[in-house]
Every structure is written in C-alpha cells, then in structure tokens.
Amino acid sequence: METSDIVSSRSRGLAAVSRPLDPLVGTVVCIPSFRRPEHLRRTLQSLADQRSHRRFAVVIVENDAMGCESVPVAAEFLRADKFQGLCVVESRQGNCQAINAAFETALATFPSAAHLLMIDDDEIASPDWLEQMVGAAEATGADIVGGPVFPNFDDEDKRGLRRHPAFWPAYEASGPVPVIYGCGNCLIKRTVFARLEDASFDLRFNFLGGGDTDFFVRCRRAGMKFHWNADAVITETVPQNRTSLGWLLLRGLRIGAINYHVELKSAPTAWTRLALLTRMLAKLPLSLVRAVRLMFTEQTPVIALHPMTVALGSALASLGIEPQPYKASRIVP
C-alpha cells in the first residue's frame, strides 16, 4: 500500500509504518496521542500483550506536530513487529481533530476492518480487553460497545476519589445500555460511520472536549444499539495534578458545558433555546439538594460538590463562558 493511499489529508503526514500492512485485518485499535510518550509506551505494550487469536492493527495519531514526542515510541513498536499499523502526524490541533484523523486513517488503510476500537494514550488495556470488546460486539450485534476505565492514582492517598464521577464508570453491569459517553474504551462498528449522516467528531467540541458524548448521542438518535461489557477493563493513569480540587472543579464545569452544547444542537429555534437556558438555570438550586444528599452518602466534599459544578458549568456555557482544556500552547495551528 502506498503512502498516498494512507494519508489522504494535507494536514497529515505518515511518521512510521510497519511492513507489510495487511488490508484484510478485521480489527483496528486507534490511539490519539499528545505529549505523553512514556504513557504511550505502556499503552502500546498492553496492546502487544493482548491474549487473542484475532489479528489487529494499530493507528497512532501524534497531535503535536512541533514536538512529535510520540513518534519515536510508536516507531519502536511498529518496526519491532509488535503489531502492524502506522503512526500519522495530525498538524491541526485539538481532541476532535486527532480522533477524526485516527478513525479516517483506520477506515482508509484497512478497508476490511469491521471493528474500530479506541484507547487513550494514558490507558492500559487488560490482557483480554480486545477479545472481550470484539466478542461482545459479535455476540450481541451491538453497533457500539463500551467498557470501564478504572483509575490508577499516582498518589495512593487519593484512592478515596475512585467514586468521583470524573473517574467512576457510567455502568457497573454488562448488558444493553441506552448510550455511552466516552471513547476512551469503546468499539465502533464500521457500519456506524456509513450510517451516520456526519460520522466525524464535531469540531465545535475540539478544545472543550465532549465530541465523543455528542457523537454517541447522535448515534443513539440514529437508532444504534449500545452494549456495555464490564469485563473489558482498562486502567487509566491519574497523575497528582488531576486529583487536585482545582482540576476536579474544572472537570465538573467542563462536563456541564459539554451537556449544554450537546442539548443546544437539538434546540434550533429561539424558543427552544430559551427553554434550554431555563432548564440549565433551574438545575442550579436542584444541584444544591443533590450535593447535600451526596455529602451524607459519600462523605467526601469534593464528590458532593460535583453536581453543583456541573450545573454551574452548563449555566456559564449558556453565557459563552467555558474551559478549553484541549487547547495547548506552542503548537502548529
């Protein structure tokens, strides 16, 4: 396969590739990466250690065109034949740009791939993860499969935060679910991209985050079936700076902003937008009631504060005020 067949966008460049590439591979794992080379190394090693008879490929997307710290790590694994695949550099900054590049590259390079999986570059897949995800899709006929991401805290004193909504999985038991919210542990069938009118992650969420939530909500509205596999476990490395009060409060504000923007897309008229704004503002006093209840059940103030920060984030977003955690400095625009 020629480089021109792999990289179809002017914003992307091929950085590393295994030889040969088999276009008949049925499963592709996608990894967007940004300035976490050592974490990426652990992620790739967990994929190399998968216990599965299934042949799969890996697509790594480097989203820091200036630093390209992930490229040497990706090249090391690809050239050592740990698995087949490729690494591309996406020069356009942002979470959604990187994810779109990963899926588009996977679909174009591996035309027989029926299942596209995603894992983040700070996550480690359990040995049976790939088998569990693909097996669940095949057994249930679900269009999209999700699985849990459990935190592994650098600071063990923070283990009490495991039940914080920022770290706790959306579901606990395997089975059909109405929707999933994150792409850090997901499988999407190839047919999903063909069925959606717009199968890309919406760039309006590029720096805020939440493009995955918006994508899956659109899939649900299009009639896609979702399944949760509690045995398809991934662990996420959580550094100390992501357990601080400031980070957790900002995370709540961001979730609230995402919720507002996802709902705003279904409010095309002035009246529906006004109704949405009214609902968002009404959640502020209701969130105080939820916070008091959580204080009694969880007995952790930062967990109890979460409903209030989410409600505040939605209200602020309706006024045009929102965080942009995926917008970095010192990078090619």
CA distance 176 to 221: 16
How many Cβ atoms from other residues are within 10 Å of residue 33's Cβ? Answer: 28
Q: What pLDDT does 330 receive? A: 45
CA distance 138 to 134: 6
Q: What pLDDT does 218 receive? A: 98
Q: Which of 5-9, 12-16, 20-24 has the lowest mean pLDDT?
A: 5-9
- Kindly state the average pLDDT of the residues 66-83: 97
Q: What pLDDT does 300 receive? A: 86
End-to-end CA distance of the chain: 30
Task: Show the tokens assigned to 51.
Answer: 């216990």
Assign 60 to helix, strand or coil.
Answer: strand
What DSSP character marks residue 58? E
- Kindly state the average pLDDT of the residues 171-196: 98
Degrees, nearest 5: CA angle 201-152-252: 50
Task: Show the tokens assigned to 41.
Answer: 């190394």
CA distance 327 to 201: 16
Q: Which residues contact 293 (CB under 8 A, 6 or more apart)?
A: none
CA distance 116 to 114: 7
Determine which helix (DSSP H) or strand (DSSP E) holds 19, and give its type and residue range: none
Ramachandran category for residue 262: left, alpha or beta (phi over 0 → left; psi -120 to 50 → alpha): alpha
CA distance 229 to 177: 10
7 pLDDT above the threshold of 70: no
Q: Which of 6-10, 45-49, 233-237 has the lowest mean pLDDT?
A: 6-10
Q: With cut-offs at 50, 70 and 90, classify the pLDDT of residue 323.
A: confident
How many Cβ atoms from other residues are within 10 Å of residue 70's Cβ? Answer: 29
CA distance 103 to 120: 13
- Kindly state the average pLDDT of the residues 33-62: 98
| Peptide bond before residue 20 is cis, with ω within 30 degrees of 0 | yes
CA distance 90 to 83: 22
3 pLDDT above the threshold of 60: no
Q: What pLDDT does 6 receive? A: 57
What percent of the chain is modeled with pLDDT above 70?
95
Helices (H), 14-92: 37-48, 70-79
CA distance 185 to 120: 8
Q: What is the pTM of this model?
A: 0.93
Closest CA to 85 of 51, 64, 116, 63: 116
CA distance 78 to 72: 10
| C-alpha distance from residue 97 to each of 94, 151, 328 (Å) | 5, 26, 13
